[in-house]
Amino acid sequence: MPMFTYQNGVLHAEQVSLAALASQHGTPLYVYSRTALEQHFNAYTKALGEWPHLVCYAVKANSNLAVLNVLAQQGAGFDIVSLGELERVLAAGGDPKKIVFSGVGKQAHEMARALEVGVYCFNVESEAELERLSAVATERGQVAHVSLRVNPDVDAQTHPYISTGLKDNKFGVDINEAPRVYAKAASLPGLEVKGVDCHIGSQLTEIRPFLDALDRLLVLIDTLAEQGIIIEHLDLGGGLGVQYRDETPASAEEYIAAVKARLGERRFKLIFEPGRSVAANAGVFLTRVEYLKLNDHKNFAIIDGAMNDLIRPALYSAWQDIKPVVENSDAPLRTYDLVGPVCETGDFLGKNRDLALSEGDLLAVMSAGAYGFVMASNYNTRGRAAEIMVDGTQAHVVRERETIASLYAGESVLPAN
Ligand X SMILES: Cc1ncc(COP(=O)(O)O)c(C=O)c1O
Ligand Y SMILES: N[C@@H](CCCC[NH3+])C(=O)O
Catalytic residues, by residue number, are: 343
Cα separation values, 84 from 59, 199, 254, 404, Å = 10, 21, 33, 23
Least distance from ligand X to the Cβ atom of residue 268, Å: 18
C-beta closer to ligand X: residue 156 or 355: 156
* Residue 379 in marked binding region: no
Least distance from ligand Y to the Cβ atom of residue 81, Å: 8
C-beta closer to ligand Y: residue 340 or 369: 369
CA distance 362 to 13: 14
Q: Binding to ligand X by residue 355, rule CB under 6 A?
A: no
Q: Which of 378, 324, 369 is nearest to 11 (CA)?
A: 324
Q: Which does 62 bind (CB under 5 to 8 A by kind): ligand Y, ligand X, none?
A: none
Q: Binding to ligand X by residue 274, rule CB under 6 A?
A: yes
Q: Which does 312 bind (CB under 5 to 8 A by kind): ligand Y, ligand X, none?
A: ligand Y
Q: Binding to ligand X by residue 237, rule CB under 6 A?
A: yes
Where does this chain touch ligand X (CB under 6 A) — which range of 16-24, 226-234, 270-278, 350-358? 270-278
Task: Report whether 149 contacts 126 (CB < 8 A).
Answer: no
Q: Binding to ligand X by residue 199, rule CB under 6 A?
A: yes
* Residue 276 in marked binding region: yes
* Residue 177 in marked binding region: no
383 three-state secondary structure: coil
How many distinct helices (H) and strands (E) make up the chain? 11, 21
User: Which residues of the shown chain bind ligand Y in the complex (CB under 6 A)?
Assistant: 60, 162, 202-203, 312, 316, 371
CA distance 279 to 44: 13
Using a 10 angstrom Cβ sphere, with 0-12 exposed, 13-18 middle and 19 or more buried, the burial of residue 23 is exposed
Q: Which does 106 bind (CB under 5 to 8 A by kind): ligand X, ligand Y, none?
A: none
112 three-state secondary structure: helix
Task: Report whether 196 contacts 221 (CB < 8 A).
Answer: yes
C-beta closer to ligand X: residue 182 or 210: 210
Distance of CA 324 to the CA centre of its chain: 26
Q: Which of 251, 164, 263 is nearest to 218 (CA)?
A: 263
C-beta closer to ligand X: residue 239 or 383: 239
List, as residue ranges, the binding site for pyridoxal 5'-phosphate.
Answer: 239, 273-276, 371
What does the binding site for ligand X look like in residue numbers (CB under 6 A)? 58, 61, 79, 102, 164, 199, 202, 237-240, 273-277
